[in-house]
Structure 1
Amino acid sequence: MNRHHLTIALLSLTCLTVQAGPREDLLAGYAREAGLAGPAALSASRGEALHQRQAGGGKADTPSCTTCHQSDIRQPGRTPSGKRIEPMALSASPERYTDPAKLEKWFKRNCNEVLGRACTAQEKGDWLTYVQSR
């Protein structure tokens, strides 16, 4: 490769932009909203603790996320009425967590039902980090 071709190749590489996907954008947004340094400050272990916790602040029939979504998020869950819920783990349901409006809809509903309040941006980011890690 001559010097001209090498220069063009190097310029092409430096001009490429890495585009984050929808999940990465969501994590970055939650981290920013929570005042964290970035998505790396979100914690899968905090997300797992939130998922497993018996909150008791919401509805009596949904005291924790595991009531409907299982402790093992790679397994399908069931609503109180018996309707199947696809596994929460990204490894088991790779199509999940790409639509911000849909994710926010479920956070709003489920956080209120389990916690009796809206989830914080950090809780959302931690939980999403957790389900993406499994």
Structure 2
Amino acid sequence: MKYLLIVPALLIATPALAQSTSPSDLIQRYSAEAGRAADAGRGKSFFLANHGSGKPDTPSCTTCHTKNPRSAGKARTGKTIDPLAPSANGARLTDLAKVEKWFRRNCDSVLGRSCTAGEKADVVAWLASQ
């Protein structure tokens, strides 16, 4: 009998635990957090730039992801990285937890710090436009 009460509770809680999103949801979220609109041109410049403030072997996003977000990249370990552009990889930018995890790791590696909400909004806007 206890199980009959638990199952409906789990079904109700599942949407709250789900982290699915869309590129537009992310852009809206990060733009609101930044207090400004996302700019795909700024995102492209940021993505392609050599920042030089993070780890020496990852001076830019393109070190691993290539200059074309519709192409597969390669991690320093040799592992293939699926394309970042949602147009080439429908699973990209659809899970908030994964997006945050990879921004956290990659921004620290490339910039030596966390990305700002504005930087995230701009990069997501550019990737979504590709």
TM-score above 0.5: yes
Match of 2:11 in 1: none
Matched, 1:29 2:29: yes
Q: Deviations over 1:5-41 (max 9, x none)?
A: xxxxxxxxxxxxxxxx6332221110111012xxxx2
Aligned partner letter, 1:102: K
What's the % identity of the aligned pairs? 49
Match of 1:70 in 2: 66
What is the TM-score of this pair, normalised by structure 2? Answer: 0.81
Matched, 1:118 2:114: yes
Query: Which one of 85, 96, 101 corresponds to residue 100 of structure 1?
Result: 96
Aligned partner letter, 2:126: Y
**Structure 2 segments unaligned to the other structure (5+ residues):** 1-20
Aligned partner letter, 1:44: A
Count of aligned pairs between the two proteins: 110
Aligned partner letter, 2:26: L
**Matches of 1:29 and 1:50 in 2, distance apart?**
19
4+ residue runs of structure 1 moved beyond 4 angstroms?
none
Describe the SS at the equivalent of 2:25.
helix
**Structure 1 segments unaligned to the other structure (5+ residues):** 1-20
What is the TM-score of this pair, normalised by structure 1? Answer: 0.79
1:78-97 aligned at under 5 Å gives the runs: 78-97=74-93
